[in-house]
Chain A
Amino acid sequence: MMDRREVWITGVGLLTSLGEGMETNWNHLERGDPPLYDDKTFAPYIVHQLPAMSFDKQIPKKADQRQMELWQRAGTYAAGLALSDAGIAGNAELLDRTDMIVAAGGGERDVAADNAILAGVRKSNKPGAFLNERLMSDLRPTLFLAQLPNLLAGNISLVHGVVGSSRTFMGEEAAGLDAVRVAWARVAAGQSELTLVGGSYNGARWDVLLAFELGHTLLQGEFAPVWDRGPNGGIAFATMGAFLVLESPEHAKARGAKPHGKLSDLYADRNERNPGESEAALRRQWQAVSGKVDRDHAAIISGATGIEPATSGELIVLKDIGLPVRNTGTYIGHGVETQFVANLGLACAAIEHGKLFAPAGSGDTGESPRGLSQVLVTSVGNWRGEGLALVERAD
């Protein structure tokens, strides 16, 4: 293994149901204000939608906004926040060599068009020909571009000018973990000086709800904190965007950039979710990182989804680890590929404030350590994606 460099987080961009920016999100969590969710629009399902907002600040051209569906607008907006926060927005020389790794699924379908075609094709005597004809007449060319996973990255290049390189990872929570893992490894190994990494998700759409309900993974009925959704628990989806700027300390110092924190360790694992495997993976990861942890100044931020048995399984492991625990899913919902990135951003906020935010639900236990300087961020995805990262104060 080559000599590893430290990897600093010099930019954080967050857009969630609680609003935009690290501080807005932190303040809500720190006060322990009730989560903001919508249990009407997609009843019996619950979604954490973005607040009514204008995207103009980060996506100035309306023409660009029109070419994107909400997931891309959310992601492009959050990427802009991260670039601004890192002090590289608008700096063509730096953006020209900024690398990018995005974790994304596909975009929105045209639900109205799909519904109309479905109704027609079922009545048609020649369903094949009917489908061709209606797809040719009803699909909007621009919508296809809004559906391609790599077009979030494409829009970020277009709107913000990030053009060093661009890769899009697919695969739910594991894609978010792996995007950060590869970005981190590249900066650590000197393959990149400056990388924008993150993703976005829009769970407030019927096509996504259908796909996940087929897997019996949605929370129905009454809202409850992630830890307290019971044996039939599930996901309350979010619309969110989250991006980080990872940078080598040498590069950051040379341009006078300050770190929010450093990403000191990251493990991503794969198992087939046979009973006990998910928990065992998390325990192995904890064993691997535990030597670096100062128990008096450390805490855990969990990315638990609310799906069972994964959620209670994770909580058993976290209790055994014995550090204070907070979850974010109760406050901001679950953003699949994006959740882990958002939680790394919130970990930075916690380290900068030197404390944890308010508990939400029965699994959030332990007092915040005084002078919090280390946060372990977990991921146990909806079907794959066990991961653990260590974010530390960077001085």
Chain B
Amino acid sequence: MAPKRDKAGRPIVAVTGIGVVSSLGVGKADNWAKLTAGQSGIRSITRFPTEGLRTTIAGAVNDVYKDYMSPAEFSERIATLAAEEAVAEAGIGSKGHFPGPLFFAAPPLEIEWHYRIAMANDAGLKDDAGYAELTNVARDARFGEIHKSLKYGVLGERLATHFGTEGSPISLNTACASGGSSIQLGVEAVRRGECQAALAVAADGSLTPESLVRFSLLSALSTQNNPPEQASKPFSKNRDGFVLAEGAAALVLENLDFAQARGARILGILEGCGEKSDSFHRTRSSPDGKPIIACMKNALADAGIGPEDVDYINAHGTSTPENDKMEYLGVSTVFGDHLRNIPISSNKSMIGHALTAAGAVEAAFSLLTLEHQRIPPTINYNMPDPAITLDVVPNKARDARVRRAISNSFGFGGQNVCLVMTREPA
């Protein structure tokens, strides 16, 4: 049989396994049930003292977290859970051998405060000791384990060992677009014919006081701490920032021919990927919306489709005043009159913004939307922003015919990724 090709003559990329961890829970079944029930995973933070912080809520993955896990350990843990679910569902490879490369979107790692303080105390350093003194005692055998968690590639390495992926594992970060980038890299590798399968994973388990403070200082976070469940309200007039969250997702991507030949169940097709960077500002998008418009157009072009072929938009929808306004400008330009026929909802209204993981978690939810023909809602939509006239699937999930979905991810540093997914090959 002739190999199947897409409209551009490339191998078709199928999804055969999906795994998700979010503030709603572990596993795609649990997540999907809660997401379509309109439940929120946002809670008051209990992991560390919040005295003195402006924002005291988050979408933490509390089901998995154990006391004193570092962001590195915790990100690895939830990445592993998501990837195990995806690989098991795909039924691919054998235990300890995944037949393809790993693309892992990981949060950046740094020395944690906990370590700095412990080192200074354990080494009995004088009261005003700083980096120079810490470095002087760094070779002490007591601190030998710390450095292993400080390599930027270490989480990808450990995942590669655990799953037995092939070749040099790629760890990446494109800020809030990272999850989308990990999937795109996998799609491209399969299309190049370098591999028959790829494992795309994204995780972010980096809820710490410092991560919260950093976004707080950029005025990016919602400060409506009570009740936590109502803080994330994308496209609402009273939206006031995003809610920091944790999460992980994994997709098994395969050449469709390879997947069908081994009898795998096809969960969806990754039909197109688009990117476009923004050169306007480090944290704000270009006021004319050109980069995000080009990003979506590039994705549609890559999939070989037009705006009228899209039935659902999984929004980046962060709930910041800036993002939601710009995303509206973007989708209304790209989709024009057809936009009134396209529901667009934000998963972040329920799970918060899982940063590095968000793009992959939301791609997973987009694929579940296609599978179940049911659109998760945008919750907390009680005060529509009159400047944003979108069908945001307010507050309640909706059954709908969805043949094709796109998922947007826009990040700091001008990083934009858009993915196009369908249920069946075109």
Does A136 sit at the interface, judged by CB under 8 A? Answer: yes
Q: List 22 A-B contacts (CB under 8 A).
A: A45-B135, A106-B108, A119-B129, A128-B209, A132-B51, A141-B218, A148-B108, A150-B173, A153-B413, A157-B278, A157-B413, A158-B280, A166-B277, A166-B413, A167-B174, A170-B152, A170-B171, A171-B171, A175-B152, A175-B153, A209-B135, A383-B151
Q: Is the CB of B282 within 8 A of A384?
A: no
Does B415 sit at the interface, judged by CB under 8 A? Answer: yes
Q: Is the CB of B213 within 8 A of A139?
A: yes
| A residues adjacent to B (C-beta < 8 A) | 1-2, 45, 67, 100, 105-106, 109, 111, 114-115, 117-119, 121-123, 126-129, 131-133, 135-136, 139-141, 144-145, 147-151, 153-155, 157-158, 161-172, 174-175, 177-178, 181-182, 185-186, 189, 191, 206-207, 209-216, 268-270, 272, 383-385, 387
Q: Is the CB of A171 within 8 A of B214?
A: no
Q: Which residue of A lies closest to B145 (CB)?
A: A214
Q: Name B413's contact: one of A123, A148, A164 (CB within 8 Å).
A: A148
Does B172 sit at the interface, judged by CB under 8 A? Answer: yes
Q: Is the CB of A148 within 8 A of B153?
A: no
A190 to B280, alpha carbons, bound, how many Å? 28
Chain B proximity of A272: nearest CB distance (Å): 7
Check A145/B168 contact, CB under 8 A, given A166-B174, A170-B173.
Answer: no
Q: Which residues of A contact B29 (CB under 8 A)?
A: none
Q: Is the CB of B175 within 8 A of A270?
A: no
Q: Which residues of B contact A115 (CB under 8 A)?
A: 128, 130-131
Residues 172-192 of B, flagged 1 when their CB comes within 8 A of A and 0 if not, give 111100100100010011011
Q: Which residues of A contact B151 (CB under 8 A)?
A: 171-172, 383-384
Q: Which residues of B contact A135 (CB under 8 A)?
A: 209-210, 213
Q: Is the CB of A133 within 8 A of B52?
A: yes
Q: Which residues of B contact A269 (CB under 8 A)?
A: 167-168
Check A136/B414 contact, CB under 8 A, given A111-B131, A168-B174, A170-B172.
Answer: no
Q: Which residues of A contact B281 (CB under 8 A)?
A: 158
Q: Which residue of B lies closest to A172 (CB)?
A: B153
Q: Is the CB of A119 within 8 A of B130?
A: yes
A206 to B132, alpha carbons, bound, how many Å? 7
Does B106 sit at the interface, judged by CB under 8 A? Answer: yes
Residues 117-133 of B, flagged 1 when their CB comes within 8 A of A and 0 if not, give 10011000001111110
Q: Is the CB of B132 within 8 A of A1?
A: no
Q: Is the CB of B52 within 8 A of A129?
A: yes
For window 155-212 of B, CB contacts with A under 8 Å fall at 156-157, 160-161, 167-175, 178, 181, 185, 188-189, 191-194, 209-210
Check A384/B157 contact, CB under 8 A, given A132-B209, A170-B108, A213-B138.
Answer: yes
Does B305 sit at the interface, judged by CB under 8 A? Answer: no
Q: Is the CB of B277 within 8 A of A162?
A: yes
Q: Name A136's contact: one of B53, B144, B146, B153 (CB within 8 Å).
A: B53
- Total number of B residues with any Cβ neighbor in A under 8 Å: 80
Q: Which residues of A contact B188 (CB under 8 A)?
A: 186, 191
Q: Is the CB of B120 within 8 A of A169?
A: no
Chain B proximity of A116: nearest CB distance (Å): 8
Does B426 sit at the interface, judged by CB under 8 A? Answer: no
Q: Which residue of A lies closest to B282 (CB)?
A: A145
Q: Which residue of A lies closest to B176 (CB)?
A: A150
A269 to B411, alpha carbons, bound, how many Å? 31
Q: Which residues of B contact A1 (CB under 8 A)?
A: 192-194
Q: Is the CB of B415 within 8 A of A150?
A: yes
A57 to B116, alpha carbons, bound, how many Å? 39
A177 to B132, alpha carbons, bound, how many Å? 31
Q: Name A154's contact: one of B130, B147, B282 (CB within 8 Å).
A: B282
Q: Name B170's contact: one of A145, A169, A215 (CB within 8 Å).
A: A169
Q: Is the CB of A131 within 8 A of B138?
A: no
Chain B proximity of A132: nearest CB distance (Å): 4
Q: Is the CB of B150 within 8 A of A211?
A: yes
Check A149/B108 contact, CB under 8 A, given A169-B170, A182-B185, A214-B146.
Answer: yes
Q: Is the CB of B127 within 8 A of A122?
A: yes
Q: Which residue of A lies closest to B215 (CB)?
A: A144
Does B386 sit at the interface, judged by CB under 8 A? Answer: no
Check A106/B413 contact, CB under 8 A, given A206-B132, A270-B169.
Answer: no
Q: Name A170's contact: one of B106, B282, B291 (CB within 8 Å).
A: B106
Does B260 sit at the interface, judged by CB under 8 A? Answer: no
Chain B proximity of A91: nearest CB distance (Å): 14
Q: Which residue of B lies closest to A189 (CB)?
A: B192
Q: Is the CB of A136 within 8 A of B213?
A: yes
A210 to B282, alpha carbons, bound, how many Å? 29
- Most B C-beta atoms less than 10 A away, residue of A144, A148, A150: A150
- Most A C-beta atoms less than 10 A away, residue of B116, B117, B127, B151: B151
Q: Which residues of B contact A121 (CB under 8 A)?
A: 113, 117
Check A191/B192 contact, CB under 8 A, given A118-B120, A163-B414, A212-B147.
Answer: yes
Q: Is the CB of A129 within 8 A of B51?
A: yes
Q: Which residue of A lies closest to B413 (CB)?
A: A154
Check A214/B194 contact, CB under 8 A, given A129-B51, A163-B291, A270-B167.
Answer: no
Check A136/B217 contact, CB under 8 A, given A161-B279, A210-B134.
Answer: yes
Q: Which residues of B contact A169 (CB under 8 A)?
A: 170-172
Q: Is the CB of B411 within 8 A of A172?
A: no
Residues 69-102 of B, flagged 1 when their CB comes within 8 A of A and 0 if not, give 0000000000000000000000000000000000
Q: Which residues of A contact B152 (CB under 8 A)?
A: 105-106, 149, 170-172, 175
- Most A C-beta atoms less than 10 A away, residue of B49, B132, B213, B283: B213
Check A167/B160 contact, CB under 8 A, given A119-B128, A141-B218.
Answer: no
Q: Name B111's contact: one of A126, A174, A207 (CB within 8 Å).
A: A207
